[in-house]
Structure 1
């Protein structure tokens, strides 16, 4: 994952008299652009809108980017990179594949609930990018989705998941259902991100585990 993430069009030079360090201003630009794409959509938000919100001239944006598409690419890339780091970390460590699947789902749900605006922009606006740029973000084999797929496949190899389950379909189903929390989760709602994560993880595991494993896990929970 280590790679140079300088945005397209950014100068290597520090502008004389620049009020804020370049990286601080870039982070602010990404934050404001994310919010504007959320409020107006990619098509509705203009670079002028973003410059106005930042309190800078539109022309100054070209110090950091070459086009609005470049800016969307950087926003989407950042959301994907942060989310992938969360699920990749959660999928590793102790426990059998189903334990790690549960942990990964909980982490993904909690991250989405606490980052509703970036999550919404990612899910709404990814298709606004050209195919090649989408694939550059998602990676070969859709690495984010692959975390869930690979855990299901590993559980199958260990005899913990039913052999009739297609790991790819299971991964898509898990990611699709958990992504949807951004549409209905409310910070002042009846359930916390942790509670929602636990429930969605339990339902996902119940959908792929063998009957014997479910019985054993139920006995452990009820012990």
Structure 2
């Protein structure tokens, strides 16, 4: 856990929650308040009121509102990155793993609409150097997609005319936008949205041979499921 500089981690008062639990609650509440009011419209007093604590007590955890936004956005980025990296590490060739990453990213987005909205809307509210600190020097999140496309291209699964970085940006641009229109309980569940987006993305970059092999695998799975 990132500790505010120059502040003690000691707690007093037997009725207080453990620091880890209270910190998680602070991040959740701040995320909701930033979502509802926007970073500029939200105040530390709003967050303290929602938590049922004095505004001054927030400084036990943070140094400023910007500090808190940084921690909120870092948490959102870290959690999403963990999801796509886990999907990228599953068995299969690079194209199969890319498909899984797209599915995982879309489903995670649909199930975390508020944090996603805060991340995408408020990242620019941070100073540029702090935004870069969140994203990483190589844009780690984007890099998961780009690296898989590059690997698939080397393996002859993605067409040679595809530019991996642009392809990764295209996939992320379309899938990130899901948060704007997805509604829980609506016509399309997260799994169906993820499957369609993944299918469209793969069809847009894969070689004819890779698509034929993919269709063969799907037909075999369907036949096995029906036997």
TM-score by length of 1: 0.94
Deviation at 1:217, TM superposition (A): 2.1
Match of 2:168 in 1: 171
- Does 1:130 find its partner at 2:127? yes
Matched ranges for 1:28-43 at <5 A: 28-43=25-40
Matched ranges for 1:127-206 at <5 A: 127-206=124-203
Whether the 8 Å contact between 1:7 and 1:74 is mirrored in structure 2 is: no
- Consecutive unaligned residues of structure 2, counting only runs of 5 or more, are 221-227
Query: Tell me, what secondary structure is at the counterpart of 1:69?
Result: helix
1:151-194 per-position Cα deviation (integer Å, ceiling 9, x unaligned): 00000000000011010001111111111110011111111111
Whether the 8 Å contact between 1:165 and 1:208 is mirrored in structure 2 is: yes
Q: What CA distance in whole angstroms lies between the structure 1 residues aligned with 2:204 and 2:52?
A: 51
Aligned to 2:11, which of 9, 14, 27?
14
Whether the 8 Å contact between 1:36 and 1:50 is mirrored in structure 2 is: yes
Q: What CA distance in whole angstroms lies between the structure 1 residues aligned with 2:182 and 2:118?
A: 15
Query: Tell me, what secondary structure is at the counterpart of 2:73?
Result: helix
1:48-89 per-position Cα deviation (integer Å, ceiling 9, x unaligned): 100111111111110110000000000000000000000001
Q: What CA distance in whole angstroms lies between the structure 2 residues aligned with 1:71 and 1:31?
A: 11
Match of 2:114 in 1: 117
Deviation at 1:7, TM superposition (A): 4.2
1:89-147 per-position Cα deviation (integer Å, ceiling 9, x unaligned): 10012111110000011011111100100010000000100111111111121010000
Aligned to 1:211, which of 187, 190, 208?
208
Whether the 8 Å contact between 1:162 and 1:209 is mirrored in structure 2 is: yes
Paired residue total? 220
Q: What CA distance in whole angstroms lies between the structure 1 residues aligned with 2:3 and 2:84?
A: 24
> 1:10–1:198: structure 2 CA closer, same or farther, 3 Å change rule?
farther
Query: Tell me, what secondary structure is at the counterpart of 1:82?
Result: helix
Matched ranges for 1:26-65 at <5 A: 26-65=23-62
Query: Tell me, what secondary structure is at the counterpart of 2:203?
Result: helix
Match of 1:79 in 2: 76
The runs of at least 4 aligned residues of structure 1 exceeding 6 Å deviation read none
Q: What CA distance in whole angstroms lies between the structure 1 residues aligned with 2:88 and 2:139?
A: 16
Deviation at 1:218, TM superposition (A): 2.6
> 1:10–1:201: structure 2 CA closer, same or farther, 3 Å change rule?
farther
